[in-house]
Amino acid sequence: MTGSRIRALGHYQPTRVLTNDDVARLTDTSDQWIRSRVGIRTRHVAAPEETVDEMAAHAGAKALANAGLEPGEVDMIVVATSTAVDRSPNMAARVAARLSAPSPAVLDVNVVCSGFPHALATADHAIRAGAARTALVIGSDKMTDVVAWEERSTSVLVGDGAGAALLTAAEEPEIGPVHWGSFPELGEAVRIGGTPTRFVQEGQTVYRWTTTRLPELARAVCERSGVAPEDLGAVILHQANLRIVESIARSLGATRAVVARDVADSGNTSAASIPLAFSKLLERGELEAGSPVLLFGFGGNLSYAGQIVRCP
């Protein structure tokens, strides 16, 4: 086998939905203010007892079911998250236990909002090297755990959820080479830390970075896979906010692509946002099997990562 492919996807969102009017009862804002600035209408909020690994396991189980595989066939689990409370057992090990996967390699990846493409590349590299044959790659974050609801700049943005991709070895690679990196000098612009732990960002710095630097980096992802932007079937960016998503997609020139806009209904779910949006588009029948799909994440550390994959 010379590569890997995405065989199936799955996603999970908590049942509780918070509207903009609900958020306006917690902080000084309004539905019109939120929609005009970030394009978000609703977000899903996990229950206090609902954990990162629980959401991840739900999404992973759905991906397995959609692939027609059993947990015992998985030999690697990689979970991208930045909101895990405990350090050990890690989220991947807890997912393995929840799914009754007998002996997979278990890794957590913390690259915040670009975590899923980093995790996907890690699993793809392992399969290419012969270290794994079937990998479950999951993005899962409980961002509402790390937000202060009275802080308008961040509370209007976030939501909770998980998305998963089931990878298998393939004779011909269907996951293209990753293009990744970071801008460490700007790393403090997005932070999750302190006591109590809180999500904080320098909004103008992040917005300028995303709209001025990221289009060229997204084009570089396409160049590495030899796919022109106008030939893309879909563009699935980290769902930071609708203005950023639409600005990057427009600058990229992906004129015929379906552009994921799940942020409007789900909010910013950090590492979960790309697989969550991908899975929902596929489930609704909006994507063509085999078409090239750009996955591109960006955010905390001011890091980025992306690759072009073939739609399952």
Token pair 């969550």 is found at 276
Question: Rounded to an integer, what distance in angstroms lies between the CA atom of residue 71 and that of residue 168?
Answer: 13
Q: Could you tell me if 166 and 136 are in contact, meaning their C-beta atoms sit under 8 angstroms apart? A: yes
Give the active site residue among 238, 241, 301, 311. 238
Question: Rounded to an integer, what distance in angstroms lies between the CA atom of residue 9 and that of residue 279?
Answer: 5
Q: What tokens were used for 9? A: 């996807």
Token pair 């563009």 is found at 235
118 is catalytic: no
Q: Could you tell me if 248 and 282 are in contact, meaning their C-beta atoms sit under 8 angstroms apart? A: no
179 is catalytic: no
Q: Could you tell me if 214 and 304 are in contact, meaning their C-beta atoms sit under 8 angstroms apart? A: yes
Beta partners for residue 307, in sequence order: 295
90 is catalytic: no
**What backbone phi and psi angles, to 5 degrees, belong to 47?**
-70, 155
Q: What is the separation, in whole angstroms, between the first and last Cα of the chain?
A: 18
Give the active site residue among 11, 44, 58, 113. 113
Peptide linkage before 89 cis (omega within 30 of 0): yes
Residue 185 DSSP one-character state: G
Question: Rounded to an integer, what distance in angstroms lies between the CA atom of residue 259 and that of residue 262?
Answer: 9
Token pair 């001025």 is found at 212
Token pair 């007998």 is found at 102
* Closest to 283 (Cα-Cα) out of 184, 163, 149, 109: 163
Q: Which residues are catalytic?
A: 113, 238, 268
